[in-house]
Amino acid sequence: MRVRVFFASQPDSETRARIAAAAAALEPKAAVPSDNYHLTLAFVGEVPPAIQDTLRHIGASQLGRAFSVRFDRYEHWAKPRVLVVAATDVPASLHELWGALHADLAKHHLALAPQCLRPHVTIGRKVSQAPVLAAMSAFDWRIRTFSLMQSTTADSGPRYTVVDTWRLLDEEAAR
């Protein structure tokens, strides 16, 4: 048996409410449940359960700093047929964490080749045609932790479970 895993950050309740409000403004037909909102840092894919110890070690070894991401626009991605809230700018600390995770995963031959970092949160699935994408009310998400997540597929869609979580360093602690 194999499990599907990825590293991601999950929003706090206030940020979850902001994402839900942004989603509600577009009323996607196949809205993602707010419990599934996350910012993917590194998608690993399907692995044997025994690999999870290695993944936990990789997560625990990260020394990234906490950061804020400003989500400021909607995007429709045609090929995966999703609607997302996205960030125009990538904070340096996010880029560093993303790069370090992918480098450590590559050492263990675990990461799928990342194309580029595009900070986003999926708010709608199975969206074949782009809705009229009005201006979005921008919001900031302060990210202080990240997790190893497991994905399972149910009839109602994917379900995400936290395997382990790590704190990012505060700005002061990183100096």
Q: Could you state, in order of their start, the residue ranges of all structural domains in the chain?
A: 3-174
Res. 173: pLDDT tops 50: no
Non-local (6+) Cβ contacts of 101 within 8 A are 7, 41, 42, 58, 62, 111
Query: Phi, psi at residue 99, to the nearest 5°?
Result: -65, -40
Closest CA to 166 of 71, 65, 91: 65
Res. 61: pLDDT tops 80: yes
For residues 19-38, give the mean pLDDT: 90
Task: Kindly report the average pLDDT of the chain as a whole number.
Answer: 91
Q: Determine the residue type at 165.
A: T
171: confidence class by pLDDT, cuts 50, 70, 90:
low
Res. 34: pLDDT tops 70: yes
Q: What is the pLDDT of residues 68-81, one digit of tens each?
A: 999 999 999 999 99
Q: Tell me, what's the pLDDT at 162?
A: 96
What's the token pair of residue 43? 């998608």
Rounded distance between C-alpha atoms, residue 157 and residue 141, angstroms: 25
Helix (H) / strand (E) element for 93: namely helix 92-107
Helix (H) / strand (E) element for 96: namely helix 92-107
Q: What is the pLDDT of residues 116-134, one digit of tens each?
A: 899 999 999 988 888 887 7
Homologous superfamily (CATH) for 3-174: Cyclic phosphodiesterase (3.90.1140.10)
Beta bridge partners of 125: 82
